[in-house]
Amino acid sequence: MIVLFTDFGPSGPYIGQMRSVLAEQAPNETVIDLLSDAPTFNAEASSYLLAALVPAFSDDAIIVGVVDPGVGSDRRPIIMKADKQIFVGPDNGLFSVVAKRASEVTAQTIDWKPKKLSASFHGRDLFAPVAAMLAAGSQVDGRTLAAGELVGNDWPTELNKVIYVDHFGNAITGIRAQTLTNAMKLEVREKEFSYARTFSCVESGAAFWYENANGLAEISVNQGRADDLGITIGDHISILAPE
């Protein structure tokens, strides 16, 4: 399957234009719209979110990631293989956390050029066609890159920030819950949050943190919204050890 992860937003023509290219050039492939509202222009936050989501997909999945504020500049377009999954997109750190957590990583530049390449929409004109080529088993011209050459290879393994606020107002962090203990508290905007296993474990209106379905620590309010507490993407998270 081909999986789309972008910051294009749920409205507008952009996802449809990418899907149109894939329908024409890879008509037998299943195309999944994983996320269209990744943190806007924010490759760092998006990289930790992407890394938490892709383990749910099959080994042969091709993930097209487009969070690309540097589109049209000298930033490199790349193909990266992490274990058995393939990632297509900009070399701006978007795939760096996936690479950190993989056992085996190979990467290359994309030197192939389409007949028409707009300055501002490489998702449609470059990355979608390359994904279609890879799905068909075709080779794509490019130069081999070492994993250490990729942007973001020096980013931390966990990101102590809010990286996404979902439809329900839950504040997802870049911290894998497995790195925490249940006795730890999370602090953001001078508010402290204790652990609970799930929403029904606390009273209605109570705020807490828990391990979400994708393995990340998430700050939530039972039948309420964490973003109503002023929490937003980019907020720093402090981890408080038990006293």
Average pLDDT of the chain? 96
Find out whether 51 and 98 touch, Cβ atoms under 8 Å: yes
- Which backbone phi and psi does 122 adopt, to 5 degrees? -75, -20
How far apart, in whole angstroms, are the C-alpha atoms of residue 15 and residue 183? Answer: 42
Q: How many CB atoms lie within 10 A of CB 124?
A: 23
pLDDT in tens, 136-150: 999 999 999 998 999
pLDDT in tens, 158-204: 999 999 999 999 999 999 999 999 999 999 999 999 999 999 999 99
Topology (CATH level 3) of domain 159-240: Elongation Factor Tu (Ef-tu); domain 3 (2.40.30)
Q: Is CATH 3.65.10.10 the classification given to domain 2-149?
A: no
How far apart, in whole angstroms, are the C-alpha atoms of residue 170 and residue 152? Answer: 26
pLDDT of residue 184: 97
pLDDT of residue 181: 97
pLDDT of residue 243: 75
Q: How many CB atoms lie within 10 A of CB 116?
A: 6
CA 61 to chain centre: 15
107 strand-pairing partners:
80, 145
Same fold? 2-149, 159-240: no
Mean pLDDT (whole number) for 7-30: 96
Q: What is the CA angle 68-233-83, rounded to 5? A: 55
Find out whether 171 and 221 touch, Cβ atoms under 8 Å: no
Percent of the chain with pLDDT over 90: 98
Residue found by looking up tokens 């938490």 in the block: 52
How far apart, in whole angstroms, are the C-alpha atoms of residue 186 and residue 153? Answer: 26
Every domain of the chain and the residues it spans: 2-149, 159-240
Q: How many CB atoms lie within 10 A of CB 164?
A: 22
Q: What is the pTM of this model?
A: 0.95
Find out whether 99 and 48 touch, Cβ atoms under 8 Å: no
pLDDT of residue 143: 97
Given a cut of 90, whether residue 129 has pLDDT beyond it is: yes
